[in-house]
C-alpha cells in the first residue's frame, strides 16, 4: 500500500513538473528563474527568514589548511568536493543571513552535478537532464550563460537497463578544473575530454584540447562507466575509476593506459588525491594506490568495512555512500562512513597504513544511512600547527523513496577523533542536530557555519531552506527560505560556497544561489 501511494504521488509530481516546464518556457526573462509553487503566497513572512542566534554567534574555525594540488585549479572549488582532499570545507565565509536574497536559473528539468570556480571566479558546471549534457560557463552573480559546450549524450540503453537518471554517475558529474582552467570531463562514451574554458576576451568558445579513449578498458557486457578522474599529485598521469571496479592511470602525454580490476567490487564514489597516493573507496574496502613511475598501479594497503545487506531507502549502493575525505597531513586520518545495519558508523582510518583507529555509530536504528561525503578537518592551534583533533560532520539522508518524493530522517552530527599521547585515539560525538537535509552540505571555515539544504512542510507545499548550523555547538543559527515546490527540490544534489560568499546549490530544475545583500544606503 505504501509503495502504491508513493507511486501515485510520484505521478502527481510528474504532472506538476509538466506544468512547471510550460511556465518556464513562457518566461521572457534573459535568465529564466525557477517558479515557486502556487502556494508560495501562503508562506507567512516570519517563515521566510528565521534567525535563532545573532550574526556574531559563530566564529572562524582554526584548522590545518588543505594543500593546493599543483595540477588542479585553485582551492576552493576545483571539483565537486572543493579540493583534492575532498574535504568539503571552504576558507571563505558563506552567507551570514544579512539581508539575504535568492537568485535562481532554470532550463526546465535538469541540474548540475558539479559547479566549479575558475581562476576568474566564474562558474563552470556540467548540466544534464538525464539524456543530454553540456559544460556551461556562467556569471557568478546572475547565472547568465556566457558559453557552452555539448558533451556526448547518454545512451537510451541505460533507461531500459533500469539505471535511473539520478543514479547514473557518468557524464561529467565528477569533472574537475585543472591549473590551466581546463575542464577534465569523463563522458558517457567512456572517454576523458580535456576542454579549455574561454577567457571571453581573446576566445569566446570552449575548445576540445584532447580526448582519451577508455572504452577498451571498461568491463565489457556491463553498465560500466568511467565516472571519476583526478590528476596524480606529481603530474604526468590521470587516475580514473569505473563503476564496475576498474582503477587506472592515463599517461597525459602518450595516452597510454594501465589498469587494475577490483574483482567483485564496485566504485560508486569519487576519490581523493594526496601527496602520498590516491585514496579510493569501493563498496567493500578502502584503498591507497600509487604507481611505480611508469603508470603501473601498486596497492599500498586495503582496509575492509561493513556494508548493508540491501540498498537503503533511496541510496545508490549497499556499500559506503561517502567519497574519501583526507584530514590533516600525511600523518593524518581518512574519514569515511561504512553502511552497516542497523546503524552506519563514521570510521577514522590512518592515512599512512590503513589502520582503523576509531568508529562511532550514527543516527537511529533502522533509519541510518548516508549517500554523502563526510566533511573533515584537523584543528590547529594559534600558530597553525595541527592539534591531533580531527572533526567529521556527517549527514543522515536516509529516506529518499520514489523520485522526487523524500521524507529524510533528521540528523546532522559532528564526531571528533582526538589523538592521545600514546598514539591511540578517543572518538566522541560532539553534537547532534535534528535538522532534516536532503542534499549536499558544506562547512565555511571563515564563518564557522555548516550549510545544509533543508526541507519543511508536506509534499503539497514543500518549503526549501538554506540552513546554517554552528560548527562548534550544533545549534541552528538561521534558516533562509529558498523557494517552494518541485523546482527547488535538491534531491541529494551538491552545495557549493563561492569565494565571494555566495552559497550555490543544484536542484532538479536548475540551480539556486543565496547571498548576503549590502544594506540600502
pLDDT digits (tens, 9 = 90+) for 460-495: 788 999 999 999 999 999 999 999 999 999 888 899
- What is the 3-state secondary structure of 204-225? CCCEEEEEEECHHHCCCCCCCC
C-alpha cell at 51: 534567525
Q: Look at residue 171 in the predicted model and tell me its pLDDT.
A: 80
Q: Is 194 or 168 the better-scoring residue by pLDDT?
A: 194
- The overall average pLDDT reported for the chain is 91
Q: Taking the CB of residue 165, how many other CB atoms lie within 10 A of it? A: 17
Sign of the dihedral through C-alpha 77, 78, 80, 83: negative
Q: How confident is the model at residue 19 (pLDDT cuts 50, 70, 90)?
A: low
State mean pLDDT over 336-346: 96
- Helix (H) / strand (E) element for 334: namely strand 333-337
Sign of the dihedral through C-alpha 493, 398, 465, 16: positive
Q: How confident is the model at residue 154 (pLDDT cuts 50, 70, 90)?
A: confident
Quote the distance between the C-alpha of residue 373 and its chain's center: 7
Domain ranges within the chain, ordered by starting residue? 2-516
Residue 427 CA: distances (Å) to CA of 85, 123, 360, 385: 22, 38, 7, 21
State mean pLDDT over 358-377: 95
Place of cell 590533516: 328
Nearest 10 degrees: Cα torsion 205, 84, 174, 441: -110
Quote the distance between the C-alpha of residue 62 and its chain's center: 23
Q: How confident is the model at residue 131 (pLDDT cuts 50, 70, 90)?
A: confident
Query: Is pTM, for the whole model, over 0.85?
Result: yes
Q: Taking the CB of residue 287, how many other CB atoms lie within 10 A of it? A: 24
Q: How confident is the model at residue 21 (pLDDT cuts 50, 70, 90)?
A: low
Q: How confident is the model at residue 440 (pLDDT cuts 50, 70, 90)?
A: confident
Q: Look at residue 160 in the predicted model and tell me its pLDDT.
A: 57
State mean pLDDT over 494-514: 97
Is pLDDT above 70 for 164? Answer: no
State mean pLDDT over 246-268: 97
| Angstrom distance (rounded) from CA 80 to CA 197 | 17
First vs last Cα of the chain: how many Å apart? 58
CATH superfamily of 2-516: YVTN repeat-like/Quinoprotein amine dehydrogenase (2.130.10.10)
Amino acid at each position: 500500500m505504501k509503495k502504491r501511494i508513493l507511486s501515485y504521488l510520484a505521478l502527481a509530481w510528474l504532472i506538476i513538473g509538466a506544468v512547471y516546464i510550460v511556465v518556464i518556457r513562457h518566461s521572457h526573462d534573459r535568465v529564466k528563474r525557477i517558479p515557486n509553487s502556487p502556494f508560495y503566497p501562503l508562506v507567512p513572512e516570519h517563515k521566510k527568514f528565521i534567525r535563532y542566534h545573532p550574526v556574531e554567534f559563530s566564529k572562524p574555525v582554526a584548522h590545518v589548511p588543505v594543500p593546493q594540488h599543483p595540477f588542479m585549479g585553485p582551492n576552493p572549488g576545483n571539483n565537486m568536493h572543493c579540493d583534492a582532499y575532498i574535504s568539503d570545507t571552504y576558507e571563505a565565509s558563506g552567507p551570514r543571513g544579512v539581508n539575504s536574497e535568492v537568485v535562481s536559473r532554470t532550463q526546465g528539468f535538469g541540474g548540475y552535478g558539479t559547479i566549479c570556480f575558475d581562476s576568474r571566479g566564474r562558474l563552470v558546471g556540467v548540466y544534464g537532464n538525464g539524456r543530454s549534457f553540456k559544460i556551461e560557463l556562467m556569471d557568478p552573480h546572475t547565472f547568465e550563460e556566457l558559453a557552452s559546450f555539448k558533451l556526448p549524450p547518454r545512451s537510451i540503453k541505460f533507461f531500459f537497463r533500469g539505471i535511473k537518471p539520478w543514479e547514473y554517475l557518468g557524464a561529467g558529474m565528477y569533472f574537475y578544473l585543472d591549473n590551466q582552467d581546463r575542464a577534465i570531463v569523463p563522458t558517457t562514451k567512456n572517454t576523458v575530454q580535456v576542454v579549455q574554458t574561454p577567457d571571453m576576451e581573446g576566445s569566446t568558445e570552449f575548445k576540445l584540447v584532447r580526448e582519451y579513449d577508455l572504452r577498451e578498458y571498461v568491463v565489457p557486457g556491463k553498465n560500466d562507466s568511467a565516472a571519476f578522474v583526478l590528476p596524480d599529485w606529481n603530474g604526468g598521469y590521470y587516475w580514473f575509476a569505473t563503476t564496475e571496479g576498474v582503477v587506472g592511470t592515463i599517461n597525459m602525454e602518450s595516452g597510454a593506459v594501465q589498469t587494475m580490476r577490483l574483482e567483485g567490487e564496485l566504485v560508486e564514489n569519487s576519490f581523493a588525491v594526496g601527496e602520498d597516493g590516491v585514496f579510493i573507496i569501493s563498496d567493500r574496502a578502502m584503498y591507497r594506490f600509487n604507481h611505480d613511475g611508469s603508470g603501473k598501479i601498486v596497492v599500498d594497503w586495503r582496509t575492509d568495512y561493513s556494508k548493508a545487506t540491501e540498498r537503503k531507502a533511496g541510496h545508490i549502493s549497499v556499500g559506503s555512500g561517502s567519497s574519501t575525505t583526507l584530514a590533516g597531513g600525511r600523518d593524518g586520518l581518512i574519514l569515511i562512513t561504512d553502511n552497516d545495519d542497523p546503524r552506519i558508523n563514521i570510521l577514522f582510518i590512518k592515512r599512512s597504513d590503513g589502520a582503523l583507529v576509531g568508529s562511532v555509530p550514527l543516527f537511529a536504528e533502522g533509519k541510518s544511512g548516508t549517500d554523502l561525503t563526510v566533511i573533515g578537518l584537523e584543528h590547529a592551534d594559534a600558530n597553525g600547527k595541527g592539534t591531533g583533533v580531527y572533526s567529521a560532520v556527517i549527514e543522515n539522508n536516509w529516506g529518499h523513496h520514489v523520485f522526487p518524493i523524500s521524507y529524510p530522517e533528521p540528523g546532522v552530527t559532528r564526531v571528533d577523533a582526538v589523538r592521545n599521547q600514546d598514539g591511540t585515539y578517543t572518538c566522541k560525538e560532539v553534537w547532534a542536530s535534528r535538522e532534516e537535509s536532503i542534499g549536499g552540505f558544506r562547512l565555511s571555515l571563515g564563518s564557522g557555519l555548516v550549510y545544509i539544504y533543508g526541507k519543511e512542510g508536506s509534499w503539497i507545499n514543500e518549503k526549501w531552506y538554506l540552513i546554517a548550523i554552528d560548527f562548534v555547538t550544533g545549534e541552528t543559527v538561521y534558516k533562509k527560505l529558498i523557494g517552494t515546490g518541485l523546482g527547488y527540490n535538491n534531491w541529494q544534489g551538491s552545495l557549493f560556497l563561492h569565494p565571494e560568499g555566495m552559497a550555490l546549490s543544484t536542484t532538479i530544475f536548475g540551480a539556486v544561489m543565496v547571498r548576503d545583500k549590502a544594506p540600502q544606503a
